[in-house]
């Protein structure tokens, strides 16, 4: 083979190799572009430091503890790339200013409950609890699977906010009363610490709702400023000492049947996070939702036993007449709310439609189970 043929063959081999490499490179490039849309954006070089305010006093049992746990989970899952500092009520801002603080970006998050913002958004209570409404299990189902989250996003969007479930107290007790409640007339003029829609229902039934902070409840009940109060459940009620100043402990908590606790997030700040940190934060919310409800159920069971052992306390179920009257007052209150606010009307309609569907199933499942178990 002469020199010209050898040179030509080497050229062709080299050209073929280059072409193959080029084709491989092109394919890799194309594949890489395709992967870019599928692979999450992760920035290992940047750390995020966020602030979370709460509506709870610092280190408040379960809710405050849950906020601290959430920050630990986020830090662990992110490998230290995201840290969240928790501020109890009053440490950075007053207890009920979280909505505005998160909306304008002064802080990134706030833990509380959506019904605290009823003065700004009439529909907000539907994402916490409404009188004679759904329990914790049903609220989880509505928000996660039944379209509730999409409505929640829609209601909060104009305020640059996102709301996510981040805890639940479970069903609450009906409250502590310094007299027996045997008929609906016994509610007339009754001065009771009860906030939100529950307070509006009590007022319609003839009572006098009063707004009193947790730290003032004991003293006001002891001095007769209050005739009754609701708080949370046996665990927190016992810690507050309410069994020492009122002797009639009623159930069920018709006003809050399964209140959702909320993590309020600045939407713009959330969208700036790498996609993995977004998922980590939302996953921590879900974990908090599970942990807080489990902790409430367990501790309430333990402390109800303690309250039963206090001889001077009488634990009673509201009479049917009282419950029937409050149920009518609740429907009238919610109907008025929907009639005067188009957004509330939309959410209320969706809430009721979902409730009808799930209630028909619970009727032959959960209800029968509890009746037979007891």
pLDDT tens, residue by residue, 310-332 = 999 999 999 999 999 999 999 99
User: Is the residue at 238 inside a domain?
Assistant: yes
Are 333 and 189 members of one domain? yes
Q: Give domain status of residue 145, yes or no.
A: yes
Q: Looking at the structure, do residues 140 and 274 belong to the same domain, yes or no?
A: yes
Residue ranges of E strands in 267-340 = 314-317
Structure tokens at 321: 């007449």
Domain count, the chain: 2
In terms of domains, do 250 and 109 share one?
A: no
Whether 125 maps to a domain, the answer reads yes
Q: What is the pLDDT of residue 29?
A: 40
Distance CA(53)–CA(111), nearest Å, equals 6
The domain of 336 spans 175-255+313-340
Q: What is the CATH number of the domain that holds 199?
A: 3.40.190.10
Is residue 330 domain-shared with residue 215, that is, in the same domain?
A: yes
Query: Cis before residue 252, ω within 30 degrees of 0?
Result: yes
Residue 163 near residue 172 (C-beta atoms within 8 A): no
Same domain, residue pair 103 and 122: yes
Are 237 and 182 members of one domain?
yes
**Same domain, yes or no: 61 and 118:** yes
Buried b (16+ CB within 10 A) or exposed e, 218-231: bebbeeeebbbbbb
Q: Residue 111: exposed, middle, or buried by beta-carbon count in 10 A (0-12, 13-18, 19+)?
A: buried
Does 246 map to a domain? Answer: yes
Asked whether residue 235 falls in the same domain as residue 274, the answer is no
pLDDT attached to residue 41: 67
Task: Mark the ranges of the chain whose per-residue pLDDT is less than 70.
Answer: 1-41, 43, 374
Task: Identify the pLDDT of residue 366.
Answer: 76
- Same domain for 210 and 78: no
Q: What is the pLDDT of residue 11?
A: 39
Cα 211 to its chain centre, rounded Å, is 22
Whether residue 82 sits in one domain with residue 194 = no
Alpha-carbon distance 41 to 274, whole Å? Answer: 6
pLDDT in tens, 266-312: 999 999 999 999 999 999 999 999 999 999 999 999 999 999 999 99
């Amino acid at each position: 083979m002469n020199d010209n043929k050898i040179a030509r063959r080497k050229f062709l081999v080299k050209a073929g190799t280059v072409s193959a490499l080029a084709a491989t490179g092109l394919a890799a490039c194309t594949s890489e572009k395709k992967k870019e849309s599928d692979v999450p954006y992760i920035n290992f070089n940047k750390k995020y430091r966020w602030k979370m305010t709460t509506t709870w006093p610092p280190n408040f049992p379960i809710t405050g503890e849950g906020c601290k746990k959430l920050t630990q989970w986020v830090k662990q899952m992110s490998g230290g790339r995201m840290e969240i500092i928790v501020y109890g009520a009053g440490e950075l801002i007053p207890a009920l200013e979280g909505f505005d603080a998160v909306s304008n970006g002064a802080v990134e998050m706030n833990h509380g409950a959506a019904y605290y913002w009823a003065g700004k958004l009439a529909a907000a209570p539907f994402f916490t609890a409404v009188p004679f409404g759904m329990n914790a299990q049903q609220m989880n189902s509505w928000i996660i699977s039944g379209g509730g989250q999409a409505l929640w996003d829609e209601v909060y969007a104009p305020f640059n906010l996102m709301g996510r479930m981040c805890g639940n107290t479970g069903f609450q007790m009906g409250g502590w009363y310094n007299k027996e409640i045997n008929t609906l007339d016994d509610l007339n003029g009754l001065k009771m610490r009860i906030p939100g829609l529950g307070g509006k229902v009590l007022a319609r039934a003839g009572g006098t709702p009063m707004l009193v902070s947790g730290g003032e409840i004991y003293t006001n009940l002891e001095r007769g400023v209050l005739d009754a109060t609701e708080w949370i459940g046996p665990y927190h009620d016992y810690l507050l000492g309410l069994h020492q100043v009122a002797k009639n402990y009623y159930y069920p908590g018709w006003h809050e049947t399964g209140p959702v606790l909320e993590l309020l997030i600045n939407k713009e700040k959330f969208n700036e996070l790498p996609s993995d940190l977004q998922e980590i934060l939302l996953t921590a919310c879900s974990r908090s939702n599970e942990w807080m409800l489990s902790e409430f159920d367990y501790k309430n069971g333990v402390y109800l036993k303690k309250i039963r052992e206090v001889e001077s306390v009488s634990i009673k179920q509201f009479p049917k007449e009282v419950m029937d009257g409050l149920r009518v007052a609740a429907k009238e209150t919610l109907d008025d709310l929907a009639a005067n606010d188009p957004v509330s009307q939309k959410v209320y309609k969706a809430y009721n439609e979902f409730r009808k569907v799930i209630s028909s199933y619970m009727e032959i499942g959960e209800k029968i189970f509890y009746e037979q178990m007891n």
